[in-house]
Structure 1
Amino acid sequence: MRPTPEALLALLALCASGCGGEDADALVVVGLTTDLALGFDVDQIESTTKVDGVITRAERLSYRGGDLSLPAELLLDPAHDGAAVEVSFAAFRDGEASPLVTRTAATRAVGGRRLLLPVSLDEACSAIACPAGATCAAGACVEPFIAPSALDDHDPRWIASAPDACKTPSSGDPEVVIGQGESAFAPLDEGEVVPIEAGPQGGHHVWLALRVTGLRQMGSRLRVGGYFRELEFELRPFTAQVTLHRAAGDLCEIYGIRFQVDRGLMVDAVRGRALDVEIALEDPNGDLATAARRVVIAP
């Protein structure tokens, strides 16, 4: 089992206080962010860490493999005061050998400080090739080195305001719109008749989709419930952790939400009945959006 970031931080702090001498508390935490949609724009990220020119860590994380989620922290091994620390990242689309975006960042560890080194993988850099010794950030080639005096001390609360593919400064208040669709978002009018189909493990379901603004792309918690008013019957809700797909502008979407409409009922009892669908979507920051839509199950 991989330890949690909180546990790793606690371990590093403990080690800093008594495992390796007076310089052991020179710590660097990389804060990795992106405005690319994981699972859609990017599927894998390779990372390489060097301390004083020596590779100390190299790994490849995969969204489909379940070990890639951003924003995230990369906790570097304790270093001595003045150690040169460099991290490099390459983001790949699924099935492609060449990276979509690369980024390098460097600083120096400082005894007695735990530095936060921010690194962003920016969509604006996807078409930019920088000369040797430079890296791309926010669409421009820049010097990778950031002086430690220009860095903040690490505070885990930075994640709450980190750049996000779906929650941008211009996205406004959280909002969710209920639609329909198995493989794409399609509008769903109030009172619209919707087809149902048999599921692979029994039961019958409708395909729902959502259009979302103002909520984080990854880690949002979805709750779907329903109520047949004529039958005075409430469907048992289900919850899931979801990843949103960025659409046009500040809009993000999720589709292919299978909602069973005959759980605890015979399917013939729900045909032709009005169903009140209720949606709640809450992101890791605690921001919440809700929506409701009445549909009619096809006869």
Structure 2
Amino acid sequence: MSVRPTHEALLALFLLCSAGCAGEAADALVVFGLTTDMAVGFQFDHIETTTKVDGVVTGTERLSYGGGELSLPAELVVGPAPDGAEIELSIAAFRDGEASPIVTRRGATRAAGGRSLLLPISLDEACCATPCAASATCAAGACVEPFIAPSALTDHDPLWIASASDACKTPGSGDPAVVIGQGESAFASLEHGEVVPIEAGPQGGHHVWLALRVTGLRQMGSRLTVEGYFPEMEFELLPFTAQVTMHKAGEDRCEIDGVRFQVDRGLPVEAVRGQPLDIEVALEDPNGDVAMAAQRVVISP
């Protein structure tokens, strides 16, 4: 299971100014709304960004999933900049250990005095195998002009993130739902009342390996809560909570595997062997959407 430190939906705020803007009334901003339909941390691991104002590089940044710096969707803000200045963002997404990016994207516009413009820019899986000329960029599998006139852009509204495209929360994924399965490294189905093995953990205690199949929730930043209750002993286990990242497992669903849930916290392990255990899980994504599920298992004797 990939567990990340708590972080907000906004990835970073870059306040960059071109060399010629000192002393001028430069209150224009361009907010690049960065999204992807690929699974961050699985299909790519880090991005490298370059910002330019009127052709001059004003900043570069490397943001890594493993370092806890990369979470999408996100905002990258360039400005303040003088009215009419050309603002450009270039992004390259990499897998760890590979020198060539798996996908690149560029976006550009002109600063409009007094406005904060929102320029959507996506890293699309369909662009991974789509080469484009140097003057073009790839979007949704097609080569397009990277420049968009400011008159064609809307003003920035931070609520855009709530409806942004996502690797797991797609138009076809339907309402939030979760299915409880089992598995340390892959999802396997779990029947009601199925006998499940337990194993000793590295820091004491014994646990079962759970896996979850999820639809309708965002790939990153969902809060997972797992609870357990032994009905025959009338004993409630302490809940487990974590922030999780899912991986794609089909067109409209994602999965989490390797969820370790301790079953003998506060009990001797011999007392739980052969006992039925009612497991409940809840997943809440950064938008506030929630999926819940329950399953009964029997601890292996």
Asked if 1 retains the 8 angstrom alpha-carbon contact of 2:9 and 2:72, the reply is no
Secondary structure, in 3 states, of the residue corresponding to 1:160? helix
Check if 1:137 corresponds to 2:136.
no
CA deviation vs aligned residue, 1:260-295 (integer Å, no higher than 9, x gap): 000000000000000000000000001000000000
Residue 69 (structure 2) aligns with: 67
Instruction: Give, in angstroms, the shift of residue 23 of structure 1.
Output: 3.0
Secondary structure, in 3 states, of the residue corresponding to 2:283? strand
Change (3 A) 1:4 1:57: farther
Alignment counterpart, residue 237 of structure 2, candidates 235, 238, 261: 235
Residue 165 (structure 1) aligns with: 167
Residue 94 (structure 1) aligns with: 96
For 2:213, give the aligned amino acid.
Answer: R
Asked if 1 retains the 8 angstrom alpha-carbon contact of 2:28 and 2:79, the reply is no
| In structure 1, distance between residues paired with 2:25 and 2:93 | 33
Instruction: Give, in angstroms, the shift of residue 249 of structure 1.
Output: 1.4
For 1:36, give the aligned amino acid.
Answer: M
Gaps of at least 5 residues in structure 2 are: 1-6
| In structure 2, distance between residues paired with 1:5 and 1:296 | 38
For 1:157, give the aligned amino acid.
Answer: L
Instruction: Give, in angstroms, the shift of residue 163 of structure 1.
Output: 0.4
Instruction: Give, in angstroms, the shift of residue 238 of structure 1.
Output: 1.3
Asked if 1 retains the 8 angstrom alpha-carbon contact of 2:127 and 2:139, the reply is yes
Residue 260 (structure 1) aligns with: 262
Instruction: Give, in angstroms, the shift of residue 4 of structure 1.
Output: 7.7
Residue 4 (structure 2) aligns with: none
Change (3 A) 1:39 1:4: closer
Point out which structure has higher relative CO (alpha carbons under 8 A, 6+ apart): 2
Residue 189 (structure 2) aligns with: 187
| In structure 1, distance between residues paired with 2:31 and 2:58 | 14
Secondary structure, in 3 states, of the residue corresponding to 2:151? helix
Instruction: Give, in angstroms, the shift of residue 116 of structure 1.
Output: 0.8
Secondary structure, in 3 states, of the residue corresponding to 1:278? strand
**1:1-299 matched pairs, under 5 angstroms:** 23-299=25-301
Asked if 1 retains the 8 angstrom alpha-carbon contact of 2:221 and 2:244, the reply is yes
Instruction: Give, in angstroms, the shift of residue 21 of structure 1.
Output: 5.3
| In structure 1, distance between residues paired with 2:189 and 2:8 | 40
Which deviates further from its counterpart, 90-99 or 286-295? 90-99
Asked if 1 retains the 8 angstrom alpha-carbon contact of 2:27 and 2:79, the reply is no
| In structure 1, distance between residues paired with 2:297 and 2:200 | 18
Change (3 A) 1:4 1:191: closer
Secondary structure, in 3 states, of the residue corresponding to 1:65? coil
* Equivalences, count: 290
TM-score normalised by the chain length of structure 2: 0.93
CA deviation vs aligned residue, 1:202-235 (integer Å, no higher than 9, x gap): 0000000000000000000000000000000000
CA deviation vs aligned residue, 1:109-155 (integer Å, no higher than 9, x gap): 01000011110000000000001200000110000000000111011
For 2:132, give the aligned amino acid.
Answer: C
Change (3 A) 1:21 1:4: farther
| In structure 2, distance between residues paired with 1:178 and 1:94 | 31
Gaps of at least 5 residues in structure 1 are: none
CA deviation vs aligned residue, 1:153-185 (integer Å, no higher than 9, x gap): 011000000000000011100000000000110
Q: After TM superposition, which residue ranges in structure 1, 4 or more long, deviate above 6 angstroms? A: 3-6
Secondary structure, in 3 states, of the residue corresponding to 1:187? coil
Secondary structure, in 3 states, of the residue corresponding to 2:121? strand
| In structure 1, distance between residues paired with 2:8 and 2:218 | 21
* Percent identical residues: 76
Secondary structure, in 3 states, of the residue corresponding to 2:80? coil
